[in-house]
């Protein structure tokens, strides 16, 4: 009887082992679970307008599987509703619920979406890590998903990208770094505090996202300060040649900046700038080459020059008057240069990148993929 009992016990052990093995998800099923749970997870569901609309169509929050199977990344794994349901039955998380006839899914009612507020944002950021050291070229979200799978437990991966012009088009190039959100703060700390973490023999730089953002903020402020100082030094070093000013009076009503330049051009004067508004009787002509104003003036008989049929009077500008005018001109030119630099700099992106908040690429999805067309 002992042998029979032992035999029965072995059969039971073998049966239980087989059952446990059958309940373990295959590689495909693990990918399906990860993808679907990402769709209904805290990160994606809180921002995915399309999926939110689908959830709102049903009072109980059910979404047809046929809709989910149009999402690109899930459809790449399977287009069979039953395959999705079988995979989800093996999930150990309580994120997604399948309805009785296995045609619809919803966020599990016992695990509702956290309220989206500043407290939640800070809590998520607290368990998010910055990691840098991945190859800029050739790295995909799939590579990162596979790499981070052994770490417990990654719930979100955002590949960091920058816009770059290529063949006239804007492409988003991977920066070699990502933001990785863990399920708990303790898991995030464990990842950051590991003595060494490598990706393909490259040691990864790791720090909490909050620390990275603060570091970037300080670096940007320092960079801005250096540029401001550089501009200041450039402005102070910038000079205009002396002996280049002629003041013109008694100008006729029909004269323009162009006609003044033309008239002085006939005198072989290399004109840099004419300060004049049409209709006014005075103008200031600045030449390019140092000490050429006197040469030009000596070509005028009695300081007279004909402008658009009207005889005007010219005189040399020297001494304090010249210094004050050149100083004012240098200041105006510097202000214009700085305005143009600031307009096109990082501080004022404007255009199509203004307020363009980029969608992250959590575990199981790609940040290049818009929410409505998964």
- The answer as to whether 358 is a domain residue is no
- Asked whether residue 332 falls in the same domain as residue 250, the answer is yes
DSSP codes of every residue in 326-345:
HHHHHHHHHHHHHHHHHHTS
Average pLDDT over residues 301-309: 93
Assign 52 a pLDDT band (cuts: 50, 70, 90): very high
Average pLDDT over residues 209-230: 92
- The answer as to whether 18 is a domain residue is no
User: What angle separates helix 118-126 from helix 209-237, to the nearest 10 degrees?
Assistant: 90
pLDDT per position as a tens digit, 308-367:
999 999 999 999 999 999 999 988 888 887 776 666 544 444 444 344 444 444 444 434
Average pLDDT over residues 144-166: 91
- Asked whether residue 267 falls in the same domain as residue 204, the answer is no
- Asked whether residue 164 falls in the same domain as residue 198, the answer is yes
94 pLDDT higher than 70: yes
Predicted local distance difference test score (pLDDT) of residue 358: 44
Predicted local distance difference test score (pLDDT) of residue 133: 97
- Asked whether residue 204 falls in the same domain as residue 129, the answer is yes
Predicted local distance difference test score (pLDDT) of residue 236: 65
- Asked whether residue 156 falls in the same domain as residue 185, the answer is yes
54 pLDDT higher than 80: yes
**What percentage of the chain has pLDDT greater than the value 90?**
67
Average pLDDT over residues 129-149: 94
121 pLDDT higher than 60: yes
- The answer as to whether 362 is a domain residue is no
pLDDT per position as a tens digit, 224-234:
988 888 777 76
Strand, helix or coil for residue 173 = strand
DSSP codes of every residue in 295-330:
HHHTTSGGGEEEETTEEEEEEE--HHHHHHHHHHHH
Which residues sit opposite 129 in a β-bridge?
Answer: 180, 208
- The answer as to whether 255 is a domain residue is yes
Give every CB contact of residue 310 below 8 A, 6+ residues apart in sequence: 250, 251, 252, 254, 255
User: 79 lies in which domain range?
Assistant: 27-107
Predicted local distance difference test score (pLDDT) of residue 290: 94
On whether the CB atoms of residues 155 and 181 are closer than 8 A, the answer is yes
3-state helix, strand, coil in the chain (%, to 5): 45, 20, 35
- Asked whether residue 103 falls in the same domain as residue 146, the answer is no
- Asked whether residue 138 falls in the same domain as residue 96, the answer is no
In this structure, how many other beta carbons lie within 10 angstroms of the beta carbon of residue 105? 24
Task: Write the CA distances from 76 to 20, 35, 91, 148, 158, integer angstroms.
Answer: 28, 11, 20, 21, 20
- Asked whether residue 283 falls in the same domain as residue 313, the answer is yes
* Low-confidence winner among 173-187, 294-308, 334-348 (lowest mean pLDDT): 334-348
122 pLDDT higher than 90: yes
- Asked whether residue 126 falls in the same domain as residue 201, the answer is yes
Output the domain CATH number for residue 129.
3.30.70.330
- Asked whether residue 262 falls in the same domain as residue 309, the answer is yes
6 pLDDT higher than 90: no
- The answer as to whether 20 is a domain residue is no
Predicted local distance difference test score (pLDDT) of residue 60: 95
Supply φ then ψ for residue 291, to 5 degrees: 60, 30
User: What would the two tokens of residue 11 be?
Assistant: 């059969």
- Asked whether residue 275 falls in the same domain as residue 311, the answer is yes
* Domain count across the chain: 3
Task: Write the CA distances from 217 to 205, 214, 222, integer angstroms.
Answer: 18, 5, 9
């Amino acid at each position: 009887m002992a042998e029979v009992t032992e035999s029965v016990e072995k059969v039971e052990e073998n049966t239980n082992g087989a059952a446990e093995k059958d309940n373990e998800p295959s590689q495909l099923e693990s990918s399906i679970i990860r993808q679907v749970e990402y769709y209904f997870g805290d990160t994606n569901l809180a921002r995915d307008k399309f999926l939110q609309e689908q959830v709102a169509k049903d009072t109980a929050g059910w979404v047809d599987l046929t809709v989910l199977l149009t999402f690109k990344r899930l459809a790449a794994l399977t287009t069979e509703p039953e395959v999705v349901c079988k995979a989800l039955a093996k999930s150990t998380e309580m994120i997604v619920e399948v309805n009785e006839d296995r045609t619809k899914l919803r966020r599990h009612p016992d695990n509702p979406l956290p309220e989206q507020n500043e407290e939640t944002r800070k809590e998520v950021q607290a368990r998010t890590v910055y990691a840098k050291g991945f190859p800029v070229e050739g790295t995909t979200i799939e590579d990162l998903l596979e790499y981070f799978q052994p770490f417990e437990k990654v719930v979100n991966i955002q590949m960091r990208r920058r816009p770059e012009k290529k063949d006239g088009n804007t492409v988003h190039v991977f920066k070699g770094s990502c933001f990785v959100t863990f399920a708990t703060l303790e898991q995030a700390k464990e990842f950051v505090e590991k003595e060494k973490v490598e990706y393909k023999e490259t040691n990864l730089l790791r720090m909490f996202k909050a620390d990275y953002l603060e570091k970037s903020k300080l670096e940007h402020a320092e960079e801005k300060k250096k540029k401001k100082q550089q501009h200041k030094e450039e402005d102070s070093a910038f000079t205009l040649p002396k002996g280049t000013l002629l003041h013109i009076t008694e100008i006729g009503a029909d004269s323009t900046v162009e006609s003044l330049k033309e008239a002085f051009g006939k005198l072989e004067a290399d004109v840099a700038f004419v300060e004049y508004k049409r209709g006014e009787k005075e103008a200031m002509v600045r030449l390019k080459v140092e000490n050429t104003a006197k040469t030009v003036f000596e070509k005028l008989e009695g300081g007279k020059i004909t402008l658009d049929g009207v005889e005007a009077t010219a005189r040399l500008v020297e001494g304090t008057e010249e210094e004050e005018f050149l100083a004012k001109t240098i200041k105006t030119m510097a202000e214009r240069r700085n305005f143009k630099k600031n307009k096109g700099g990082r501080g004022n992106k404007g255009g199509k990148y203004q307020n363009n908040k980029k969608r992250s690429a959590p575990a199981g999805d790609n940040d290049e993929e818009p929410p409505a067309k998964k």
